[in-house]
Structure 1
Amino acid sequence: MTPALLMLASWAVEAVFGWPDWLYRRVRHPVVWLGVLIAWLEQRLNRRAFPSWGRYMFGTLASSLTVMLATGLALLLVRSLPDGWTGYVVQAAIASSLLASRSLYQHVAAVAAPLSVGDQSAARTAVSLIVGRDPDRLDEAGIARASIESLSENASDGVIAPLFWGAFFGLPGLVAYKTINTLDSIIGHRNERYEAFGGFAARLDDVANLVPARLTGLFIAIASARLSAFRIMLRDARGHRSPNAGWPEAAMAGALGIRLSGPRIYGDRRSEEPWLNPEARDADASDIRSALRLYTLALAIAWLALTGLVLLEAVR
């Protein structure tokens, strides 16, 4: 079984079963375990008394150790498993836990359902689970915009990027990427506590997502069959605060004919972000469902691309 075929099998398992609640209650989730390790290292190495350069160095050390440990364990596991289907089934089961196509759809759909009937309170509660901005400050357009942005960005971070690295480097590549992305999620923030300590992790995540983010934007644009998706992506993506997230978000904005990004509030801080597709209208509840349909089509195209890679490897 090639790495690409392993990813295809793993994705099928994740799409059908996800990570069941009963399993989460018993063993949590691999990303939770990573989070515990990262938090433990951060609490011990990220000291306010250290100068910025010292915090950056300790953050680089913590990030490097975490990636090496997780990837090393994955390599050890792969080499210790028996050859044949038993070993591949175990690898596919583990790899499926590090993909998030099913859970991402469910989390965003959980925002669309109450918002479509005017229940903004329930929609704010649901959107707070997938974005970091203050949900109490969001009106209908803000809730819709936040959920669509999260769907677009995490289509790359949670699905396409792990599949990309896994398709070329197998389970160790997938684990390495997921560790990098988790580090960025926990310590890669631009604030007083994390900016120096998490600086290396944030840059590493930028590099790891460079190609997958652009692929995700391309898949969304193709799925929409609208030239505006390509045009807005190429025009506005580079203006985003992130070197990567702007590509799928701008493609989604152009595909749906809405504006995304823009100013937002995190805690007591207002972040003046530029708009993507600024001349378009604001999003509403119906656009979330349209975005979910487009997400599904984009992943179908990604599935075909991965299948093509499997076939290409088979004829070599």
Structure 2
Amino acid sequence: MTAWIMLAGLAVEALLGWPDALDRRMGHPVCWFGWLVERAEHLGNREKWSKPARGAMGGLLTLFLLALAGLIGLAMQLVLPNDWVGFVLMALLASSLIAARSLHDHVADVSSAFEGAGIDAARCTLSRIVGRETAKLDEAAIARAAIESLAENTSDGVTAPLFWGALLGLPGLFAYKAINTLDSMIGHRNSRYEAFGKIAARLDDLANLIPARLTGTLFTLCAGSGRAMKVMFRDARKHRSPNAGWPESAMAGALAIRLSGPRAYGTETSEEPWLNAEAGDPDAADIRRALALYQRVVVAAALLLAALGWAHLP
């Protein structure tokens, strides 16, 4: 049943996304949870406290918010009727926590900016979806950043929510999105968050362990490229993230381009290793190629959910 719910949620989100009218009136569920994280961080992450104290408080608050999200999902799953009305409502709830369409649209906007207003517009559009400095990026660096964001977030925004939702229902889906949001907000390696967000970051690594590798495998299979598989297994572990390297290196091998490499965050430069280093740099056209591959991966994920659903029919 949970696989069918997630498949229906994926279909709703892919077709409709999160409607602007709803966003204007009530915001987005992830933003609601983000507000809770902000309040918790404000109360529990005091600069005057020692690192062990901040780490302990961050861990406690992370586990509390994770449990809260999971219990809300469980309550909704138990309260909703076990009929087609409940199925539709659960699918709508699930759709709000999947990002298949929104991810595609955000990356496609970068490509459209290139094709329309040019490189300055592409830099500005890219700045909305990545944390690195974009003001001085050339075409190749913009394309790399957009494609890397697409590859990594295919796991975080699509495959992982579907995986945990299909495995554990709404409690699993809600808990995963809580972990992912916590990591994106407090799981940073800097003086403010390194201690406070350490548990959140480690939980996010654990929650994405299987989905990231599944995503990378889907990229290679949908590309029909043995070379992509080879690059993924060779280069994935070079990435500083234990998970992001799998979909990113698979994408690099599938498109025969190099990804990652040095990048600037504010005034600091991060010396990241290249993925598929022997290949050339991507250009604006490669963003469209990456999006086409991404679309095939989403369809493949839908087919896997359907197969799982059929396998569990009485």
Aligned AA (1:109): A
The amino acid that maps onto 2:258 is: R
Q: Give me the whole-angstrom Cα distance separating, in 1, the residues matched to 2:117 and 2:82.
A: 55
RMSD over aligned Cα, in angstroms?
1.0
- Equivalent runs, 1:255-294 vs 2, <5 Å: 255-294=254-293
Residue 227 (structure 1) shift = 1.2
Q: Which amino acid aligns with 1:54?
A: A
Q: CA deviation at 1:121?
A: 1.3
* Equivalences for residues 58-77 of structure 1 within 5 A: 58-77=57-76
> By how many angstroms is 1:228 displaced?
1.1
Contact 1:219/1:299 (<8 A) preserved: no
What pairs up with 1:136-175 in 2 under 5 angstroms?
Answer: 136-175=135-174
SS at match of 1:281: coil
Matched, 1:124 2:123: yes
| Higher alpha-carbon deviation: 74-83 or 143-152 | 74-83
What SS is found at the alignment partner of 1:197?
A: coil
Which AA in structure 2 matches 1:270?
T
Unaligned runs of 5+ in 1: none
Structure 2: how far apart are the matches of 1:61 and 1:238? 30
Q: Find the residue that maps to 2:135 and give its secondary structure.
A: helix
- 1:137-181: CA deviations, max 9, x gaps? 311111100000000000000000000000011111100001000
Q: Which residue of 2 aligns with 1:225?
A: 224
Paired residue for 1:25? 24
Cross-structure match for 2:112: 113
Deviation, structure 1 residue 129? 1.2
The answer to whether the 8 Å contact 1:137/1:265 transfers is: no
State the partner residue of 1:91: 90
- Once residues 251 and 76 of structure 1 are traced to their aligned partners in structure 2, the CA distance between those partners, rounded to angstroms, is 38
CA distance in 2, matches of 1:269, 1:88: 49
Q: Match of 1:186? A: 185
When normalised by structure 1's length, the TM-score is 0.98
Shift of 1:284: 0.6
Paired AA for residue 151 in structure 1: L
Q: Deviations over 1:98-125 (max 9, x none)?
A: 0000000000000011223571111111
For structure 2, the 5+ residue unaligned runs are: none
Q: Distance in 2 between the 1:46 and 1:289 partners?
A: 42
1:55 match: secondary structure: helix
SS in structure 2 of the partner of residue 314 of structure 1: coil
Aligned length: 314
Q: Could you list the structure 1 runs, at least 4 aligned residues long, displaced by more than 4 angstroms after superposition.
A: none
Instruction: Indicate the residue corresponding to 2:10 in structure 1.
Output: 11
Letter in 1 for 2:250: A
| Per-residue deviation, residues 169-208 of structure 1 (Å, max 9, x unmatched) | 1111100001000000000111111111111000000000
CA distance in 2, matches of 1:143, 1:237: 21
Would the aligned equivalents of 1:127 and 1:135 in 2 still touch at CA under 8 Å? yes
